[in-house]
Amino acid sequence: MILGVIQARMSSSRLPGKVLADVLGQPMIGRQIERLRRSRRLDQLVLATSLDASDDAVAACGETLDLKVVRGPLADVLGRFALALDAFPQTTTLVRLTADCPLADWRVVDAVIDRLAESGCDYANNTMPERTFPHGLDVEAMTVGAFRAAAAEATEAYDREHVTPFIYRQPDRFRLATLSRQPSLAHLRWTVDYPQDLDFVRHVYGALHAADPDFGTEAIAALAWNSSKAAT
């Protein structure tokens, strides 16, 4: 079983409440879930948020979206992922996703999962050692064994907050794989951290969603290119 875990919280330091910001009449996280549910490799999606009262609205939104919701410590995101895994003990592969990526492409998610399986590695991503995908299409997939080791052994606050550094910072212990693409689109920013990022996402959905709700990376890149040319 392949389990996708989406981490989400309201208390972003740069753009508080962004995960519930409106995007074409739906909360931003709802748009991301809509895209991720097209995956052919993910068997289950779980929303992992915190027990903090500020995240009550996130949990309620997840339930409205018919998602399994787990809640745990605000800073210990690794602990939240462990709770998600406990809810689905038959899981063999764990996929880390973040709720500030409403342009996530299920094709990229599936490709990273396939890269993990084909390589026989413990961990795979599409960002290291060199990024070639846009910021906002980040995916990490790992075996349950590698994740369990991190959850049990990681003690540094940074490792607990960011979930996977314990794994990828030990290449002598864990086998690592990466997915890259050509041409590189590393210069593009599609994640949502600032108001202008949210403006861009709304522009993309407004321009593409009606004609093709399953619009992909190439369509977004073309729109970004055309928009930049028009601005100049």
Domain span at residue 138?
A: 2-231
In this prediction, residue 231 has a pLDDT band, given cuts at 50, 70 and 90, of: low
The lowest-confidence range among 72-86, 98-112, 130-144, 213-227 is: 213-227
pLDDT, tens only, 194-208: 999 999 999 999 999
Q: Which CATH number do you get for residue 223?
A: 3.90.550.10
SS (H, E, C) the chain: CEEEEEECCCCCCCCCCHHHCEECCEEHHHHHHHHHCCCCCCCEEEEEEECCHHHHHHHHHHHHCCCEEEEECCCCHHHHHHHHHHHCCCCCEEEEEECCCCCCCHHHHHHHHHHHHHHCCCEEECCCCCCCCCECCCCEEEEHHHHHHHHHHCCCHHHHHHCCHHHHCCCCCCCEEECCCCCCCCCCECCCCCHHHHHHHHHHHHHHCCCCCCCCHHHHHHHHHHHHHHHC
Our count of domains for the chain comes to: 1
Q: What is the mean pLDDT of residues 104-124?
A: 98
Q: What is the mean pLDDT of residues 107-136?
A: 98
pLDDT, the chain, mean = 96
Note the pLDDT of residue 228.
60
What's the predicted TM-score (pTM) here? Answer: 0.95
Whether 72 shows a pLDDT value over 70: the answer reads: yes
